[in-house]
């Protein structure tokens, strides 16, 4: 370990101690208590994920009042946005991920409305960069990617109406409109597509336990996404005859995009989450969709030809009924 790296680690540890002392001296005890919990879960100095009891302490803040839950989310977001350290940023995102997966409803609710505008890039880390050395630069790419994954996770939850780790019954989608199913399928494919944007040049960083644990959690999310995609592809496939041409093309576009990210995801997950049943369904549905679209296009051409023939027949009958008289007037025969 180089001198500058050791110095940076010692400096980070001293910052943590100073921040903890500040919370001890703070007169705002509720906020200070939440900050201490977050600080202890997201320390400087190592690339080890927060321990289970540290995560449990964070999750425990969601079992109190709404104010306590709000204070917890505000504290982790402040820590995330103020740090320039890639390991601390990853620990903050890992903590947020555990809140999404294990937190109480009130804690998830506070996270979902932060900030009030919501939307894409609400974690605001698309420009994050820790330029301390070459390794932290590569870790920064993982920070940006992981933040995007969590944003996609929350966007999926908003559209589906529930979190990925609490799936809806398969039978519930039967009563959904085609447009609703296509909208849900689109946001699920967006998640898979973003997952494939993993920093491929620095996959070796998975040897760090923090990055390895992050990939494990993301892999579990992807497994849930695959399950949700399977349900919607199955239901839309059963409705294929009743789908309009535009709905069929939108459905096919989603399937094409999902197929397009398969190899990129495999680079990260290797043989995990292969789900041969899903890909068999995708291949079969795509073949049926292509045939259905061609059939609908041919039927559309036949309608156009039939309409043109009807117009031609009308003109012929009109010309047979009327002829132009020498005086210049139409005369009926």
- Could you read off the pLDDT of 192-203 as tens digits, one per residue? 999 999 998 899
Q: List the chain domain ranges.
A: 3-324
pLDDT in tens, 1-55: 566 677 676 777 778 778 778 777 777 878 889 999 999 999 998 889 999 999 9
- Name the fold adopted by 3-324: 1.25.40
pLDDT in tens, 158-205: 999 888 887 666 668 888 999 999 999 999 999 999 999 999 889 999
- Token readout for 11 is 């400096």
pLDDT in tens, 193-247: 999 999 988 999 999 999 999 999 999 999 999 999 999 999 999 999 999 999 9
Q: Residue 176: helix, strand or coil by DSSP? A: coil
pTM of the model: 0.85
CA torsion 91→92→93→96, rounded to 10°? 120
- Token readout for 269 is 């997950």
- Backbone phi and psi for residue 162, each to the nearest 5 degrees, phi listed first: -160, 160
Residue range 67-90: mean pLDDT, rounded: 94
Q: Residue 30: helix, strand or coil by DSSP? A: helix
Distance, in Å, from the CA atom of 108 to the CA atom of 100, rounded to the nearest integer, reads 6
Write down the mean pLDDT value for the chain.
Answer: 86
Report CA 114 to chain centroid distance, whole Å. 17
For residue 299, give Cα distances in angstroms to 243, 248, 293, 312: 14, 14, 10, 20
- Backbone phi and psi for residue 48, each to the nearest 5 degrees, phi listed first: -100, 135
H-only helix segments in the chain: 3-25, 29-41, 52-60, 66-82, 86-102, 105-112, 134-160, 178-195, 209-238, 245-260, 262-269, 276-321
CA torsion 236→237→241→242, rounded to 10°? -10
Place of tokens 């420009």: 127
Is the separation of the CB atoms in 56 and 104 below 8 Å?
no
Sign of the alpha-carbon dihedral angle for 234, 108, 52, 77 = positive
Closest CA to 257 of 203, 195, 201, 215: 195
**pLDDT above 70 coverage of the chain, percent:** 83
Closest CA to 35 of 2, 62, 73: 73
């Amino acid at each position: 370990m180089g001198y500058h790296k050791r110095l940076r680690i010692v400096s980070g540890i001293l910052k943590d101690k100073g921040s903890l002392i500040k919370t001890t001296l703070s007169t705002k005890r509720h906020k200070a208590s939440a900050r201490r919990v977050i600080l202890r879960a997201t320390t400087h100095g190592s690339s080890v994920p927060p321990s289970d009891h540290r995560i449990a302490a964070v999750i425990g803040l969601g079992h109190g009042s709404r104010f306590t839950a709000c204070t917890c989310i505000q504290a982790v977001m402040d820590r995330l946005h103020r740090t320039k350290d890639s390991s601390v940023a990853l620990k903050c995102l890992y903590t947020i991920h555990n809140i999404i997966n294990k937190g109480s409803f009130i804690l998830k609710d506070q996270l979902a409305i932060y900030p009030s505008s919501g939307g894409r890039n609400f974690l605001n880390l698309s420009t994050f960069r820790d330029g301390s050395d070459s390794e932290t630069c590569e870790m920064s790419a993982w920070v940006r990617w992981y933040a995007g994954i969590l944003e996609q996770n929350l966007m999926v939850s908003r559209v589906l109406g529930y979190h990925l780790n609490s799936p809806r019954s398969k039978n519930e989608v039967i009563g959904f409109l085609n447009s609703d199913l296509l909208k849900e399928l689109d946001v699920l494919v967006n998640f898979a597509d973003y997952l494939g944007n993993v920093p491929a040049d620095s996959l070796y960083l998975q040897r760090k336990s923090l990055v390895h644990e992050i990939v494990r959690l993301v892999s579990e999310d992807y497994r849930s996404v695959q399950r949700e995609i399977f349900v919607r592809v199955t239901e839309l496939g059963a409705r294929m005859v009743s789908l309009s041409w535009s709905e069929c093309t939108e459905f096919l576009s989603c399937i094409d995009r999902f197929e397009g990210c398969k190899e990129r995801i495999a680079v990260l997950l290797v043989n995990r989450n292969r789900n041969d049943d899903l890909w068999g369904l995708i291949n079969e549905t795509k073949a049926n969709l292509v045939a259905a679209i061609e059939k609908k296009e041919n039927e559309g051409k036949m309608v156009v030809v039939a309409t043109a023939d009807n117009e031609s027949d009308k003109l012929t009958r009109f010309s047979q009924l009327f002829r132009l008289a020498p005086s210049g007037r139409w005369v009926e025969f």
